[in-house]
Chains A and B, each alone.
Chain A
Amino acid sequence: MIQVHNLSKTYNNGVKVLNVESLEIPKGQSFGLVGNNGAGKTTFFSLLLDLIQPSSGHIINNNVQVNTSEAWKPFTAAFIDESFLIGYLTAEEYFYFIGELRNQNKADVDTLLAKHEEFFNGEILKSKKYLRDLSKGNMKKVGIIAALIGNPEVVILDEPFANLDPTTVNRLKKIIKELADDTNTTVLVSSHDLVHTVEVCNRIVALNKGEIVKDIQTSPETLKELEAFFAV
């Protein structure tokens, strides 16, 4: 589904923040990206969404080269951070707005929202609050569900577990696992939290200073291996 070729990103000051020679993510995989701060996780996702320009190489998403064509947009959805939310809208208005851009009618969006009512924990819908006034955790919930609108084939979530309460983390794991079980959907998740990532992903790639240092299929030993790698 996603192929990475000689991808690198170097900033003006000469610092190379990402350098991935080759990476292939097959369709339907749930792909976990782990690493410390500055490892290049968000940079990789930003390149995948064509929000920044690669210094060399390119990414192919479902046969579309992302930095030259925009044809990847209809089947790719992402939530990176709060800048993906429109602060002056209510949650419902935001979901419908995204829905309309993804050719979903109101009923489609409502069905999806109803399915995730538990995840919202009664704090999002009909809360009479604009998104800018929600807490960080609740913003995150809105962003994650909005990324699921329109059954995208590629779902990208940057640090989805951060800022969420323990109950919501477990509910989110359930949602991601469901997506992972769907062979049509490729899920890409990044996290600092090894335990969460191992639990929901069937493949884990560890980044360190922009380079891939581990690429493993999840097995009972994966967590130990990763913990050993990140141990001080």
Chain B
Amino acid sequence: MFKHFIWLEWKSFLRSASFGTNLAMKIIMGLVALYFLACFAILGTTVYFILDKEGFEPLQTVNKFMIYYFAVDLLIRYFLQKMPVMNIRPLLTLPIKKGTIVHFSLGKTALSFFNWTHALFFIPFTIVLLIKGYGYQAILWNIAMFALVYFNNFINILINNKDAVFYSVLAVFAGLGLTHYYNIFDITAYTQPFFQGMYDTNYLFLLPVLFLIAAYYFSFQFFKSNLNLDEGLAKKSEVAQTENYTWLEQFGTLGTFLKNDIRLLRRNKRSKTTLIMSVVFVFYGLLFFTSSIEAYDNPAMKVFAGIFVSGGFLFTFGQFIPSWDSAYYQLLMSQNIPYKEYIKSKWWLMVIGTVISTLLASFYLYFGIHTYLIVVVAAIFNIGVNSHLVMLGGAFVKTPIDLTTSKQAFGDKQAFNVKTMLIAIPKMALPMVLYAAGYYLFSPNIGLLFVALAGVIGFLFRDYVFSKIEKIYKSEKYATIAAYKQKN
């Protein structure tokens, strides 16, 4: 039976729409993945020596931060790890035991990238421990850590789509992190002995293993009991509300599109995730402006942060224009659509998003007026230049977006993907160079002026860029329609 499942998986992997369509992107992503793998492996090997040199006891120090390690792991998983998508519906009526289907779906997640990357850190670290004479208990510790990695894996499956649970967990950990940072309450004082216990005793490592078994058991039960078309696999439908936004009507056709875009953002799981990511990006700047990370503590990196803080929405939403409308693109193409108004509506949406992000970011004033001005000029640059670049890129993306993806229990969460980030990188470089040039050649304020000026100049090209994008939409029309028809 499993042989058949594996055959199905292999076919679905090879034949998925995204595979092979963009070889260059695949190669770049492969390189980035390799880079991260190498980082992890190097970290695993060297962390012992670094900590030892700095005068810390390596294992104890690692254990101290394990609680955050696993919390961050869960966070990353929640956003990036795909759920065990196996096309389950057609299997239900075949003579296969439900238990087998669920076991396979869950087992498949064990092989996920998000699990085995941890091995690249833990295994080298454990080997170093063994070499340094930590004894066989190091292996017990290693087993315990892997049990916890897999425990996270199944917890993530259980809490998937339960945003309320997830965000309360997130809030608790964020609170703990902050109280730790300001020396109010240190959770690691309580958790460190637990993780250390995995090494110090011969039996405590069984506890995470038991956790893991329990988590697997509950995931199994949860999915098995929900494996009906009217429950776990059912589409949930919500009570619809009619919103007319009549005040937008004064803007004519532009208003018509804006109305629709606002509804699009508010009513689809996929686009809501985009909104949440934009808010997360606002706080991303804290890493840079607090000077807490040495490598980030230079002028160019601060502009980098400013671009992300003000442009989180612009990037996450903009890169998928016009893919957001992919589900009904045929309708739009057969209607009398003024392209310019359509593009303008999306542009305005990005401008509104950028302005709101910039206002939300006003708490950066705490770090001085210059810091906040960096965010503001970055916002100007985003509106003037990056909005155009993002839309130009989006016109070629042609990935159909399933707005309702996470509606199903076994849905896949792809709202925030790695590709996104890659396309965004070149848009960072220009303002960083401009600011650094002004900063070092003249003064920090001249640097700000350079970035803002670039934004204003970009804005002057708006109509030109819009007509370029319109031309792309027209010339790519047939290819785009064909691409959007392919569903994964």
- Chain A interface (Cβ within 8 Å of chain B)? 49-53, 70, 73-74, 76, 78, 80, 83-90, 92-93, 96-98, 100-102, 127-130, 132-133
A87-B334 contact, Cβ under 8 Å, with A101-B256, A130-B237, A132-B404: no
Residues of A within 8 A of B241 (CB): 90, 128
Residues of B within 8 A of A102 (CB): 335-336
The 7 A-B pairs of least Cβ separation, nearest first, read A133-B237, A73-B336, A84-B331, A88-B267, A100-B256, A49-B334, A130-B240
Distance in angstroms from B28 CB to nearest chain A CB is 28
Distance A133 CA – B240 CA, assembled complex (angstroms): 10
Residue of B237, B477, B478 near A129 (CB, 8 A) is B237
B334 touches A78 (CB 8 A): yes
A93-B327 contact, Cβ under 8 Å, with A73-B334, A101-B336: no
Shortest Cβ distance from A49 into B: residue = B334
Distance in angstroms from A210 CB to nearest chain B CB is 19
Residue from the set B239, B331, B333 with the largest chain A CB neighbour count within 10 Å: B331
B336 touches A89 (CB 8 A): no
A85-B240 contact, Cβ under 8 Å, with A73-B334, A100-B256: no
Shortest Cβ distance from A45 into B: residue = B334
B256 touches A97 (CB 8 A): yes
A53-B331 contact, Cβ under 8 Å, with A87-B403, A88-B267, A130-B237: no
Q: List 10 A-B contacts (CB under 8 A).
A: A49-B334, A52-B482, A73-B336, A84-B334, A85-B328, A87-B404, A88-B264, A102-B335, A128-B240, A129-B239
Question: B residues 312-356 with Cβ under 8 Å of A?
Answer: 327-331, 333-337
B260 touches A97 (CB 8 A): yes
Q: Is B143 an interface residue (CB 8 A)?
A: no
A88-B268 contact, Cβ under 8 Å, with A97-B260, A101-B256, A132-B404: yes
Distance in angstroms from A155 CB to nearest chain B CB is 12
Distance A8 CA – B253 CA, assembled complex (angstroms): 36
Distance A5 CA – B326 CA, assembled complex (angstroms): 31
Question: Chain B contact residues (Cβ within 8 angstroms of A): what range?
Answer: 20 to 34
A80-B330 contact, Cβ under 8 Å, with A53-B478, A88-B263: yes
Shortest Cβ distance from B339 into A: residue = A70
Residues of B within 8 A of A50 (CB): 333-334, 477
Distance A52 CA – B264 CA, assembled complex (angstroms): 27
B337 touches A129 (CB 8 A): no
Residue of B329, B334, B404, B478 near A76 (CB, 8 A) is B334
B328 touches A83 (CB 8 A): yes
Residues of A within 8 A of B243 (CB): 93
A92 touches B242 (CB 8 A): yes
If A53-B478, A89-B263, A96-B244 are given as contacts, then 18 extra A-B residue pairs at C-beta distance below 8 Å, sorted by A number, are A51-B478, A80-B330, A83-B331, A86-B328, A87-B404, A88-B263, A93-B242, A93-B243, A97-B256, A97-B260, A98-B335, A100-B253, A101-B253, A101-B335, A101-B336, A129-B240, A132-B404, A133-B237
Residues of A within 8 A of B337 (CB): 73, 101
Q: Is B481 an interface residue (CB 8 A)?
A: yes
B331 touches A85 (CB 8 A): yes
Distance A50 CA – B482 CA, assembled complex (angstroms): 12
Q: Is B235 an interface residue (CB 8 A)?
A: yes
Residues of B within 8 A of A83 (CB): 327-331, 485
Distance A88 CA – B326 CA, assembled complex (angstroms): 13
Shortest Cβ distance from A129 into B: residue = B240
Distance in angstroms from A71 CB to nearest chain B CB is 9
Distance A231 CA – B260 CA, assembled complex (angstroms): 48
Shortest Cβ distance from A85 into B: residue = B328
Distance A96 CA – B337 CA, assembled complex (angstroms): 15
Distance A169 CA – B366 CA, assembled complex (angstroms): 67
Q: Is B230 an interface residue (CB 8 A)?
A: no
Distance A78 CA – B330 CA, assembled complex (angstroms): 10
A89-B260 contact, Cβ under 8 Å, with A51-B481, A129-B240, A130-B237: yes
Residues of B within 8 A of A96 (CB): 244
Residues of B within 8 A of A51 (CB): 330, 333-334, 478, 481
Distance A93 CA – B243 CA, assembled complex (angstroms): 8
Q: Is B238 an interface residue (CB 8 A)?
A: yes
Residues of A within 8 A of B267 (CB): 88, 130
Distance A90 CA – B244 CA, assembled complex (angstroms): 11
Residues of B within 8 A of A80 (CB): 330
